Chain A
Amino acid sequence: MLKKGKKGEVDWIIFVAAELVIFAIIFFSFMSMVKGWTSGDVINKVYISRDTALLIDSLYSVPYNVYVMYPNKVSEITSSVSKYTLEFKEGVVSVYSDMVVDVTRASYHYTENGKMKIDKKFIHPSSLVFYKCNDAVNIEDFKTFAEISETFCSGIDAEGGILSKRFVVNPVDDYDAFDIADSVNSIFFNNVVLSRDKGDTGITDNRIQEKIDEKPTDIILNLNTDITGKKIVIKTPQETEKRVEITALVSLLNYFIKKNVKDIEIEEKIVEDISLFNANTGKITVQIEIPLDTGISNNGLIAKAIADAIRRYYGG
C-alpha cells in the first residue's frame, strides 16, 4: 500500500522498494529460465555440433576404415540428437530445431580431405553412423547393426565382409616390429605378441618354422594368454595371401578410451557372432561402440581418446 506524504505525493522510497521486490522476483524467475535454457536446448545443440565435427576430424586421423555409432553414451547430451536436424555441408555441422528461424542454431567446422565432400541432412535421426571407408568419411542414418553391415564399404570392399578392412591393426612388418608389438601388448592385448621375424619374442624359432611349414605365412600371432574365443579369433590363413588371418571381436576403441580417458569406466563389449566377420582380408577388424553412460559433459572425449591412442600406438 502506498503511503502519501504531506502534499499528497506517493512515498517514492516505498514505491521503489516495491518495484525492486517485483524486479527481484522477475530476475530469479528469469535466471531460472535462462539456466534451463542454457543447460538444455542451446547447450545440446552446441555440444552435438562440436562433438560430431570433432568425430569427423578424428575419423580422418585413423589410418584405416572405421565406423562409430552415434549417439554414444559418453555424454547424456548426445542422446538428444533425435530432437534436432543435423546438417553436414561444406565443412560445417549445423544443429537446429524445427523452427522457421532457429536463433539458437549451433554450428561447428570440420576439415575434409579431397576424397569426398560430405553433404548430408538428417531430420530427427534416431542414430547415426560415422564411418570412414577407404579414406572417405561419410555419415548414414542407421537403426540396426545389421543395416550397417550391409552397407558399410559396400561396392568398395570386394570382400564384402561386415567388418573387413575396417579399423585395421596389423602392425608387424619389416621395421620396428619390436616397438610396435610392444605397443600392441601394452595398449590392447596385454600379452599378445605379434611377430614376423625369427628374432621376435614370444615364440621359438623352431615353432615359427613349423608354422611356416604348415602353411605359408608372413605373420605369426602368438597369444601368451588364453584369450581365444573371448576376444580374438584366429582364422585359417589364406594360402594365396600368405598371411595369418586375424579377427578381433573386441572394441579396440574401448581400450583406447579405457587407457586414455581415465575418468571413464568403459565396459568391454564382445561381439559373439563371429560369422559377421570376414576373415579373408587378413586383418584385425574392429567394431566400435561406446557403451557406458558416464554423465560427463565434455566435447570430443571420443575424438581425444582416438587421437591419444593412435599417437601412443603408432607414435610411441
Chain B
Amino acid sequence: MVVKIFKNKKGEETPQKMLFYVITSIFITILCFIIVYFVVYDLRTETMIPKNLERNLFIQRFLNSEDCFAYTDTKIQRIYPYLLDQKKLTQDTLDKCYSINDDKTILSDAEKKLEEKIKISNDGGIAFRLTFIGAGIVPNNVLKTKNWVDGKNSEQETPIRIKVIDDENEINEAKLVVEVQEGP
C-alpha cells in the first residue's frame, strides 16, 4: 500500500512525492552536517595541542641537545644548555639533529616531485630558519631545516639570548633569531 501512497490512479508520481523527497534530502543533508560538526568539534577540543608547544619543543632541542648545538664537555660528559658550541653551528649539525627526509638522499624523478610536494605542504612538520648573531660567529650564519620553503610566510620568534663558546674556550654573548613556518 505504501508504494501507492504518492501515486494517482494511473500510477503516476504525484507532486507530493517530489516534495517529500526534497524535504527528506534537505533533512538528511542537515543531519550529516550536524554530525560532522559534532565529530570535528569534539576531536578538536579533546585533542587540542597547546599553542606553539611543538615549535618551542624544537627550539629547546636546538639549544639543549648534545646532538644539536649545545656545548658538551667530553671529559665529564656534561652538556651545557644554551651554551652553543661554535663548531656545531653548521647546516650539517642542524640536518642531523632535526632529521626530516634524510633517508631520501638518492631520489628518482618521481621521488623528487613527491619531495617537492612534501616541502610545499611541510608534511605536517614545522620548518625553522635560525640566524645566529654575535661576536665570533660567522656573519649571516643562517641555517635552515630541510623542510624550509623560501618565500613562504613565516613568523619570527623573540630573539633568544645565548652564549657561544669557541675553540679557545672563550664564551661570547650572542643572539639566536628563530623564524618558523608552520601549517600549509
State which of A31, A63, A310 has its C-beta within 8 Å of the C-beta of B38.
A31
Chain B residues positioned under 8 Å from A60 (CB to CB): 57, 61, 65, 67
Chain A residues positioned under 8 Å from B81 (CB to CB): 63, 310, 314
Q: In the complex where A114-B67, A135-B66 touch, is A175 in contact with B42 (Cβ < 8 A)?
A: no
**Range of interface residues on chain B?**
35 or more
Chain B residues positioned under 8 Å from A38 (CB to CB): 38-39, 42-43, 46
Q: In the complex where A23-B27, A298-B50 touch, is A314 in contact with B58 (Cβ < 8 A)?
A: no
- CB pair B96–A113 under 8 Å, yes or no, is yes
Residue A293 CB within 8 A of the other chain: no
Residue A311 CB within 8 A of the other chain: yes
State which of A20, A35, A315 has its C-beta within 8 Å of the C-beta of B63.
A315
We find that the number of chain A residues with CB closer than 8 angstroms to chain B is 64
Residue B110 CB within 8 A of the other chain: no
State which of B27, B38, B48, B99 has its C-beta within 8 Å of the C-beta of A20.
B27
- CB pair B57–A54 under 8 Å, yes or no, is yes
Bound state CA distance, A310 and B56, in angstroms?
10
Residue B134 CB within 8 A of the other chain: no
Minimum CB distance partner of A313 in chain B:
B81
Chain A residues positioned under 8 Å from B96 (CB to CB): 113-114
- CB pair A27–B57 under 8 Å, yes or no, is no
State which of B5, B16, B19, B67 has its C-beta within 8 Å of the C-beta of A135.
B67
Chain B residues positioned under 8 Å from A165 (CB to CB): 77
Q: In the complex where A30-B35, A43-B46, A109-B123 touch, is A304 in contact with B23 (Cβ < 8 A)?
A: no
Bound state CA distance, A298 and B23, in angstroms?
40
Chain B residues 21-80 with CB under 8 Å of chain A are: 23-24, 27, 31, 34-35, 38-39, 42-43, 46-50, 53-54, 56-58, 60-61, 63-68, 70, 76-80
Please give the residue numbers on chain A whose beta carbons come within 8 Å of chain B beta carbons, in ascending order: 2, 7, 9-10, 12, 15-16, 19-20, 23, 27, 30-31, 34-35, 37-39, 42-43, 46-47, 50, 54, 57-58, 60-64, 77, 91, 109, 111-115, 134-135, 165, 168, 170, 173, 175, 241, 243, 282-283, 297-301, 303-304, 307-308, 310-311, 314-316
State which of A9, A115, A311 has its C-beta within 8 Å of the C-beta of B60.
A311
- CB pair A109–B124 under 8 Å, yes or no, is yes
Bound state CA distance, A134 and B43, in angstroms?
36
Chain B residues positioned under 8 Å from A43 (CB to CB): 42-43, 46-47
Chain B residues positioned under 8 Å from A304 (CB to CB): 50, 53
Additional A-B contact list (7), CB under 8 Å, known A46-B47, A298-B48, A314-B81 = A35-B42, A54-B53, A57-B57, A60-B67, A62-B64, A91-B99, A298-B50
Interface centre among A2, A134, A282, A307, by most chain B C-beta atoms within 10 angstroms, is A307
Bound state CA distance, A262 and B23, in angstroms?
51
- CB pair A303–B57 under 8 Å, yes or no, is yes
State which of B8, B46, B78, B97 has its C-beta within 8 Å of the C-beta of A114.
B97
- CB pair A31–B35 under 8 Å, yes or no, is yes
